[in-house]
Chain A
Amino acid sequence: MATQQSRSAARLMMAPAVVLLLGWMLVPLIMTLWFSFRTYLPLRGGDQGWTGFDNYVRFVTSSAFWPAVQTTLMIVLGVLIITVALGVLLAMLLDQPMWGQGIVRILVIAPFFVMPTVSALVWKNMFMDPVNGLFAHLWRFFGAEPVSWLSDAAMPSIIMIVSWQWLPFATLILLTAIQSLDSEQLEAAEMDGAPPLKRFAFIILPHLARAITIVILIQTIFLLAIFAEIFVTTGGAFGTRTLSYLIFQRVLESQNIGLGSAGGVYAIILANIVAIFLMRIVGKNLDN
């Protein structure tokens, strides 16, 4: 990238990718903005022209809006806490030399390769079904009344399913980070009189700070938009309607594209607020 020629060649080479990505992002964004200012009811008269900010006002004043925001944030937060905490523990466990290490690592990573829809269905039908699920059998074995997970404890169930999917990702990133920890540092801390828990708190955890930051940032981006898990399990009932699910309902179930688009714009704003907060709080970790 030193000379004038190589710089302009590089720009030329990158141009198709830049244009494609920009178009990919801008076209849906502009269409969403466009529809959000129009009354567009596909089954009830189609596109009926401009309405100003009516859609925006209606979307926020709907009784479903704030609970949906709250649900979204709860799922994101719950999954983050579970995956980071268990991810750190699993990473430390997998870092220990043991027999069959390669296979165990692949097994731990496996859930990440299962499609969200499939994993949610497996959990719903094989584990959480109140009649035939494994949990129901387990509960009955101990003489307890089986729990109907997805109606009585819908939020914890969904958080559990999503955590199961994302735990491998967190573990993988944290494992690579833990492997880069200089073992002499731990030995030095041991010589300095730090017991195992303090070695964890003073050496391992600070070493992982950057990796944890990355896990939190990437997961948040994806978790704000989870949809399939909710669609195939509760269908948004029992207090599991997230913002993205609410938008889906407005567009497809109420057949109101304008209203849904306004919701989409709110979702963009929410995602950006969360992203800015995260960058502020944890982004500091990336600096040093």
Chain B
Amino acid sequence: MGRITLEQVTKSFGETQVIPPLDLTIEDGEFAVFVGPSGCGKSTLLRLIAGLEDVTSGEIRIDGNAATSLAPAKRGLAMVFQSYALYPHMSVRKNIAFPLRMAKLDQAEIDRRVNGAADVLNLTDYLDRRPGQLSGGQRQRVAIGRAIVREPAAFLFDEPLSNLDAALRVGMRLEISELHERLKTTMIYVTHDQVEAMTMADKIVVLRAGHIEQVGSPLDLYRAPRNLFVAGFIGSPKMNFIIGAEAAKHDAHTIGVRPEHIEVSDSEGMWSGVVGVSEHLGSDTFFHIHDTGLADTLTVRAGGEVGFKHGDRIHLTPRADVIHRFDANGLRLA
């Protein structure tokens, strides 16, 4: 069981309040992702839940029990750190067994759980190596192994993939999702990468300057971002924002159109512009369009084989049903 509730939690370092009063509930078995730009307080929030930082005021409950003043070890949570924080002088086996040794389990039980975890994480061949002899992905798995042997109420991940190269990151992302499917344990995952958030989460919590901007499933956030910040943060490439006369046509201060919701044509369309840089990814092509009279640059996604060149004139038509409208305060208009 691992239902985590935050009630009016705040955190201040000296005079500066990094987390203003905040309420949040993470249901048992949920994969929650805290996402936001760097310095938005997402790691601090995770450390508050872990107990590595003390809350300034407010209540944290784990499964309904007050955990606010409980020591980290007593909360039944396991954490995977950005640097993995493996113990360099211990073998992989000892690293994974460390929390069990601290809990004074008997040796047979420790061996059983360590071997079980090693089996799940494909670490059996590496149990006698030191962390220094492992690759980044293997270290990551050891860190996860150290977390799962404790059979915690919830896992906390603090940007666990940011030290891996791009290919490994995709692989580990799948492994962690797979692990969540298998264990069905609550997971809280902090990242600044919206792709990780979109692909892994059951529930995304978008944070900015300690405030929760929006909470919801990935597709909720994609389809109906509550404000300009969420609209710009979720989705890749970024949503195009258009202000002025074109927005006024839709009775809005700002309209947002995702690059994938614009049709391109060489002959006719609602808008037109000049092709700047085009990024060919094979499956897709992203065109950066200038001189549209709408915004500095519009980003447009087209099929991989669409062949506009730098300097070509291009015509664009947004899909009318997926234009996002925002008012002068940046809030979504229904």
Contact = CB atoms under 8 A, between A and B. Distances in A.
Q: Is the interface of B mostly helix, strand, loop or mixed?
A: loop
Contact of A187 (B78, B85, B103): B85
B98 A191 contact: no
A187 to B, nearest CB: 5
A190 interface: yes
Interface string A188-201: 11111110001000
Contacts of B85: 182, 184-185, 187-188
A267 interface: no
A191 B87 contact: no
Q: Is the interface of A mostly helix, strand, loop or mixed?
A: helix
Contacts of A191: 50-52, 72-73, 77-79, 99
Contact of B103 (A193, A207, A288): A193
Interface in B71-93: 71-73, 77-79, 81-83, 85-90
B289 to A, nearest CB: 45
Interface residues of B, number: 25
A184 B50 contact: no
Contacts of A188: 79, 81, 85, 87, 146
Contacts of A192: 73, 98-99, 102, 146, 150
A203 interface: yes
B169 interface: no
Contacts of A23: none
A202 interface: yes
B133 to A, nearest CB: 10
A193 B89 contact: no
Interface centre among B51, B71, B102, B150 (most CB of A within 10 A): B102
Contact of A198 (B71, B79, B81, B102): B102
A235 interface: no
B238 interface: no
B87 A185 contact: yes
A224 B85 CA distance: 40
Interface in B119-142: 130
Interface of A: 182, 184-185, 187-194, 198, 202-203, 206-207, 209, 288
